[in-house]
Amino acid sequence: MTVPTSGRSSARRADAQRSIAAILEAAVNALSRNPDASVSEIAKAAGVGRVTLYGHFPNRADLVEAALAHAIEQGHAALDAVDLTGDTRQALTRLIDSSWLLVNQSRSLLLAAQTVLPPSRIRDLHAGPVERVEGLVKRGQDDGVFRSDLSTSWLIGVMHNVMHTAADEINAGRLDPDQAAGFITATVLAAFTPPGRRVPT
Amino acid sequence: MTVPTSGRSSARRADAQRSIAAILEAAVNALSRNPDASVSEIAKAAGVGRVTLYGHFPNRADLVEAALAHAIEQGHAALDAVDLTGDTRQALTRLIDSSWLLVNQSRSLLLAAQTVLPPSRIRDLHAGPVERVEGLVKRGQDDGVFRSDLSTSWLIGVMHNVMHTAADEINAGRLDPDQAAGFITATVLAAFTPPGRRVPT
DNA sequence: CCCTTGTTGAACAGTGGTGTACGAGTTACT
DNA sequence: AGTAACTCGTACACCACTGTTCAACAAGGG
């Protein structure tokens, strides 16, 4: 799914696979730095000719999509290690700890994708990660630990955007990166607390 | 400050002022719809020749900057009407009610500015509005109504990004625009509640 | 070892934008 | 009424990027 699987009978040659891998990695890096990175830029960073790149990805949009899919897949795999059982608030804390850096780093890449891909496509690509968070948040709501007067998707959106707050603050030099995770969890846990209940310390 | 005041002894002619006003308004509109709007596009929307536009704004960056400044100034003026005295939480609610739509509408314009202007310039332009919010939040922190374990700038950032959450959710068709303000204030007030204290209902 | 598959740079056409120049026409201020 | 300020369209030079073609060369697989 990461790579264009357009009707190909025999497997790709080894060097082609290497090229594709290099291109994807370079694309993720370049687009994460600058959402408007050109195809030439990416090809050069991948140590590959521009023509070669076009041999694997028909146009820039497809390349960006593949890069985003690649990054998401990687992140998704990395988060499989996180233990989401037990106390819901602690589970959420663990999830934030391991995911906020990933989210932060892919911010610019996501922006690139948004300018080139239809919103539906982007939502599809995010289906996996969203599902994981959604399950956790819903469990918290069912247990009464998280508020239910706001929709699940809203809470997920808030969590996501609070991570962006951290990125902004760090970028502006107003927040020490080491403190970021703590700020995020403190804020999210408070925001998720049901009305009338005490905010966890 | 809204208009290029580059050393001009005698006042501009009336029609020039009209042109500038039309251009600024058109620029705000166009850039709010599409952050990559071209100069031609903006000129056309303003009912003005492209050359005329260049007569008033030397380049695209200056135009974008002027548009952002214009929008901010307008918003700032509109918010002067909001009563920020009395109960801090209620004051914040009032402020959110009147400002979230403005913030939402200028999202794309801000994005345009970010791709063309240095961060410092953007922060300067926002100085006015930020100051207003900062005063209110600081007061809340001093009174013990808002938490002080997180920095003031963080809380402001959170408030800002929660508004963005609303925009995202509306855009995705998952939130009724009429409910947005309520969701935002509920979330922000909870996030601002000091640890150990009850979340307001 | 040979043939297929990949890779490469250079070159080209096309697109869509920015900013400038010019000359003729129009509109406001005094 | 006259002059300076303003506007307009066209045209131009320029640039950066996209996507394609070509012909020569390199490398993997059976």
Identify whether B63 is part of a domain.
no
Per-residue confidence at A152, pLDDT binned at 50, 70, 90?
Answer: very high
Residues with Cβ < 8 Å from A191, sequence gap 6 or more?
A155, A158, A162, B162, B187, B190, B191
Strand D, CB < 7 A, residues 142-181 of B: none
In this predicted structure, the answer to whether residue B2 has a pLDDT above a threshold of 60 is no
Strand D, CB < 7 A, residues 58-77 of A: 58-61
For chain C, which bases have at least one atom within 7 A of a protein Cβ?
A: 5-11, 16-22, 27-29
Identify whether B6 is part of a domain.
no
CB atoms within 10 A of CB B61: 14
Angle at B79 between CA B105 and CA B159, to 5 degrees: 60
* Terminal Cα-to-Cα distance of chain B (whole angstroms): 43
In this predicted structure, the answer to whether residue A9 has a pLDDT above a threshold of 70 is no
Please count the structural domains in chain A: 2
Per-residue confidence at A175, pLDDT binned at 50, 70, 90?
Answer: very high
B13-32: pLDDT as tens digits: 999 999 999 999 999 999 99
For residues A178 and A99, state if they share a domain.
Answer: yes
The answer to whether strand D lies under 7 Å from the CB of residue A9 is no
For residues A182 and A83, state if they share a domain.
Answer: yes
For residues B85 and B154, state if they share a domain.
Answer: yes
- In this prediction, residue A81 carries a pLDDT of 97
Last residue of a domain, one of A6, A26, A58: A58
Identify whether A54 is part of a domain.
yes
Here the CATH number for the domain that contains residue B22 is: 1.10.10
For residues B140 and B179, state if they share a domain.
Answer: yes
In this predicted structure, the answer to whether residue A44 has a pLDDT above a threshold of 50 is yes
Inter-chain CB pairs, A–B, below 8 Å: 112
Mutate which: B162, B185, B201, vs A, most A CBs within 10 A: B162
Identify whether A197 is part of a domain.
no
Mutate which: A114, A187, A193, vs B, most B CBs within 10 A: A187
CB atoms within 10 A of CB A55: 13
Identify whether B1 is part of a domain.
no
For chain D, which bases have at least one atom within 7 A of a protein Cβ?
A: 5-11, 16-22, 27-29
Identify whether B4 is part of a domain.
no
A169 CB neighbours in chain B (<8 A) are 153-154, 157
B34-52: pLDDT as tens digits: 999 999 999 999 999 999 9
B76-132: pLDDT as tens digits: 999 999 999 999 999 999 999 999 999 999 999 999 999 999 999 999 999 999 999
For residues A76 and A121, state if they share a domain.
Answer: yes
The two structure tokens encoding residue B19: 């042109």
Question: Closest nt to B46 (CA→C1')?
Answer: D7
Q: How near does any CA of chain A get to the CA of B81, in Å?
A: 28
- In this prediction, residue A13 carries a pLDDT of 87
Sign of the dihedral through C-alpha A59, A60, A65, A70: positive
Identify whether A22 is part of a domain.
yes
For residues A179 and A131, state if they share a domain.
Answer: yes
For residues B44 and B122, state if they share a domain.
Answer: no
**B77 to each of B81, B122, B124, B135, B162, how far by Cα in Å?**
8, 18, 17, 17, 23
For residues A25 and A105, state if they share a domain.
Answer: no
Q: How near does any CA of chain B get to the CA of A123, in Å?
A: 9
| Touching A: B residues 33-92, CB under 8 Å | 36
Radius of gyration for chain A, computed over Cα atoms and rounded to the nearest angstrom: 19
Work out the percent of chain A whose per-residue pLDDT is above 90: 93
| Nearest partner of B187 among A88, A193, A167, judged by Cα | A193
DSSP string, A8-49: -SSPPPHHHHHHHHHHHHHHHHHHHH-TT--HHHHHHHTTS-
**A13 to each of A21, A159, A189, B91, B168, how far by Cα in Å?**
13, 43, 50, 66, 43
B123 CB neighbours in chain A (<8 A) are 172
* Terminal Cα-to-Cα distance of chain A (whole angstroms): 43
For residues A43 and A139, state if they share a domain.
Answer: no
For residues A91 and A185, state if they share a domain.
Answer: yes
H helical segments located in B34-176: 39-46, 50-56, 60-78, 88-105, 107-114, 119-125, 127-143, 152-171
Half-sphere exposure of A199 (CA within 13 A, CB side): 27
Structural domain harbouring A37: 14-58
Which residue type occupies A176? D
- In this prediction, residue A138 carries a pLDDT of 98
For residues B43 and B141, state if they share a domain.
Answer: no
Cα–Cα distance, A48 to B10 (Å, whole number):
59
Q: How many helices (H) and strands (E) does chain A have?
A: 10, 0
| Among the partner residues B164, B174, B190, nearest to A161 by beta-carbon distance | B164
Last residue of a domain, one of B5, B40, B58: B58
Which residue has tokens 């030099």?
Answer: A173
Cα–Cα distance, A174 to A169 (Å, whole number):
5
Identify whether B199 is part of a domain.
no
Here the CATH number for the domain that contains residue A152 is: 1.10.357.10
Mutate which: A147, A151, A158, vs B, most B CBs within 10 A: A158
Question: Closest CA to D21 C1' — which residue?
Answer: A51
Cα–Cα distance, B136 to B92 (Å, whole number):
7
For residues A18 and A78, state if they share a domain.
Answer: no
H helical segments located in A79-151: 88-105, 107-114, 119-125, 127-143
The mean per-residue pLDDT over the stretch B130-151 comes to 98
3-state secondary structure of B188: helix
